[in-house]
Amino acid sequence: MEPILLYDTTLRDGAQGENINFSAEEMIKIAQKLDALGIHYIEGGWPGSNPRDERFFELAKNIKFQNARLTAFGSTRRPGITADEDQNLKALIKSSTPAVTIFGKTWDLHVEQVMDNTLQENLAMIKDSVEFLKKNNREVIYDAEHFFDGYLANRKYALQTLMAAIDGGAETVVPCDTNGGTLPHDIEAIMNDVYDTLNKYREKTNSPPIKIGIHTHNDSGLAVANSIAAIRKGAVMVQGTINGYGERCGNADLISIIPILSIKMNRQCISKENLAKLKSISRFVSDSANMTPLNSRPFVGKSAFAHKGGIHVSAIMKVPRAYEHMNPELVGNERRVLISDLAGKSNVEYKARELGIELGANGFDSRKIVSEIKRMEEKGYQFEVADGSFKILMEKLTKQFKPLFELKSFRVHIEKEKDRPCSAHATIKISVGDTEEITAAEGNGPVGALDNALRKALEKFYVADLDSMHLVDFKVRVIDAWEGTAAKVRVLIESRDEYSIWSTIGVSEDIIEASWQALADSFQYKLSKERT
């Protein structure tokens, strides 16, 4: 079977997603990651449309991509002018990319009612634009915008737009489900017709071989399914974005499509070695976009291979595939067992083995630990989302915990002056072995001040260990809201270094006390990790 070409449009279509904005420098870094992953085409943006994209293409001229063909994106020529007069097409040539993708109108509604154009002029615009780009020695990919809606409205004309691109010399034509409303069975039927019709047309006109692609949006939650349906009917290029980022409900998610093709369908697209990079590149792009990673994202999400029910855990300890559709390590992910009030002894035993904790020590077996966990969760703790605190709890229960520091005292001072924001100042006293240290620091809020003061004190003992550690998320939830200001609060802190992410938890009627518990656990976990 023919390999599937992966076309990434994260930097252009993905950047159109709400609250997503990349700098040109971030775009370069993402492009290099995509190239290392083995992506075949990287759409860098629309040159001439904005200064950021222009800067990206200028920076990209100094980079040699090893696997990918960098691609510039734009539209067909404007009505009533020649292709060599069109500034958009000139900007595409100026970008100096080896490949160019242009889109044109396929739906007669858009041509006549939105553009106020004629159907014949639209066909000429497509053909002329492709011919112009081919004369300038570019590989041309033609995106047929709104193709599936156009096909259902006027099949003959929609197919003619693809033929116009073939007449111009396009190597690849890509039907697009731009509105994201087409269903998989319709995609299959239409793509089957497209494949047969274009092959007959190519033979009739003695045109060179043509590749057919697919570009889908997720407005019906079917972008991945529709992409796979198209591939089953002959598409050999699939366009999408990392994490499915994109306008409205997003684009087809390459992070799901790639393992489906590679593992489920045995279709060649990237190497097994690169397949294992999927989780890391998913996280890299989400960090670059300043978007919280989706725990439930298929294949690479934190919860994708997480098990909570005791029966499930008991089974996967014997035969993992009993409750997993694939080996998580193939995509760089890992199996996780969650600890909660639904946990059984199998969950605890699995987690203990995973964390390197010896059970049975000092009279505590897995059943007693389960009982203690359930007791603490009744008080408001939630260990399934706080692996760091759970490890420390297990060590304390089995008397294997070796604290790397101990709190002696802390004081937090909040000051508010008229017409000025609050300022926070924290003083902390800790001991490390026989040495005590007192430090003070300011921060944006009491928890920030406490974090800064603790870090400042610990750096005198563990400076190299803390260089890469920083907090990435802080959540507060009121547990018993009806108690008013006397209600308990749960604080969750997420921390990370260059290799991993961990979460810790604190519960108290006092938000500062709960924050301290989570904060202290986070630092204890990090320091302990460096010594194992």
3-state helix, strand, coil in the chain (%, to 5): 45, 20, 35
Q: Which fold has domain 5-270?
A: TIM Barrel (3.20.20)
What is the value of pTM for the model shown?
Answer: 0.73
d(CA 143, CA 129): 12
d(CA 293, CA 347): 25
HEC string of 142-191 equals: EEEECHHHHHHHCHHHHHHHHHHHHHHCCCEEEEEECCCCCCHHHHHHHH
What pLDDT is recorded for position 376? 82
Average pLDDT over residues 328-336: 88
Given a contact cutoff of 8 angstroms between Cβ atoms, the answer to whether 89 and 74 are in contact is yes
Question: Would you call 450 helix, strand, or coil by DSSP?
Answer: helix
pLDDT digits (tens, 9 = 90+) for 77-109: 999 999 999 999 999 999 999 999 999 999 999
The more confident residue out of 425 and 498 is 425
419 Cα distance to chain centroid: 41
373-387 residues labelled b (16+ CB within 10 A) or e (exposed): beebbeebbbbbbbb
Query: In angstroms, what is the C-alpha Rg of the chain?
Result: 28
Residue 485 has pLDDT above 80, yes or no: no
H or E element at residue 106:
none
Q: Are strands 423-432 and 435-443 parallel, antiparallel or unpaired?
A: antiparallel
Given a contact cutoff of 8 angstroms between Cβ atoms, the answer to whether 389 and 364 are in contact is no
Percent of the chain topping pLDDT 70: 94
439 forms bridges with which residues in the sheet? Answer: 428
What pLDDT is recorded for position 159? 98
pLDDT digits (tens, 9 = 90+) for 391-408: 888 888 888 888 999 999
pLDDT digits (tens, 9 = 90+) for 114-144: 999 999 999 999 999 999 999 999 999 999 9
Tokens of 393: 């709890």
pLDDT digits (tens, 9 = 90+) for 244-284: 999 999 999 999 999 999 999 999 999 999 999 999 899 88
355, with CB counted inside 10 A (0-12, 13-18, 19+), is middle
d(CA 417, CA 232): 67
Confidence of residue 38 (pLDDT cuts 50, 70, 90): very high
Please give the single-letter amino acid code of residue 396: K
Confidence of residue 197 (pLDDT cuts 50, 70, 90): very high
Residue 29 has pLDDT above 80, yes or no: yes
What pLDDT is recorded for position 481? 56
Q: Per-domain residue ranges for the chain?
A: 5-270, 306-397, 406-529
d(CA 303, CA 296): 5
Report the chain's mean pLDDT, rounded to a whole number: 89
Confidence of residue 172 (pLDDT cuts 50, 70, 90): very high
d(CA 25, CA 11): 11
Average pLDDT over residues 45-54: 88
Please give the single-letter amino acid code of residue 171: E
Given a contact cutoff of 8 angstroms between Cβ atoms, the answer to whether 147 and 177 are in contact is yes
Confidence of residue 362 (pLDDT cuts 50, 70, 90): low
The torsion of the CA quartet 383, 388, 391, 397, rounded to 10 degrees, works out to -70
Q: Which of 180, 76, 179 is nearest to 128 (CA)?
A: 76
pLDDT digits (tens, 9 = 90+) for 494-504: 888 877 888 89
Confidence of residue 231 (pLDDT cuts 50, 70, 90): very high
Cβ-based neighbours of 432, under 8 Å, separated by 6 or more:
404, 405, 406, 458, 461
Q: Which of 200, 188, 203, 202 is nearest to 235 (CA)?
A: 188
Given a contact cutoff of 8 angstroms between Cβ atoms, the answer to whether 69 and 99 are in contact is yes
Percent of the chain topping pLDDT 90: 63
Question: Would you call 430 helix, strand, or coil by DSSP?
Answer: strand
Alpha helices in 329-408 (DSSP H): 345-355, 366-378, 387-397
What pLDDT is recorded for position 454? 94
Average pLDDT over residues 195-215: 93
H or E element at residue 32:
helix 24-37
Q: Which of 191-195, 343-347, 444-448 has the highest mean pLDDT?
A: 191-195
d(CA 276, CA 37): 9
Among the ranges given (57-61, 387-391, 405-409), the one the predictor scored with the smallest mean pLDDT: 387-391
Average pLDDT over residues 58-69: 93
Given a contact cutoff of 8 angstroms between Cβ atoms, the answer to whether 286 and 314 are in contact is no
What pLDDT is recorded for position 484? 61
Q: At what angle do helices 24-37 and 278-288 cross, to 10 degrees?
A: 170
CATH number of 406-529: 3.30.160.270
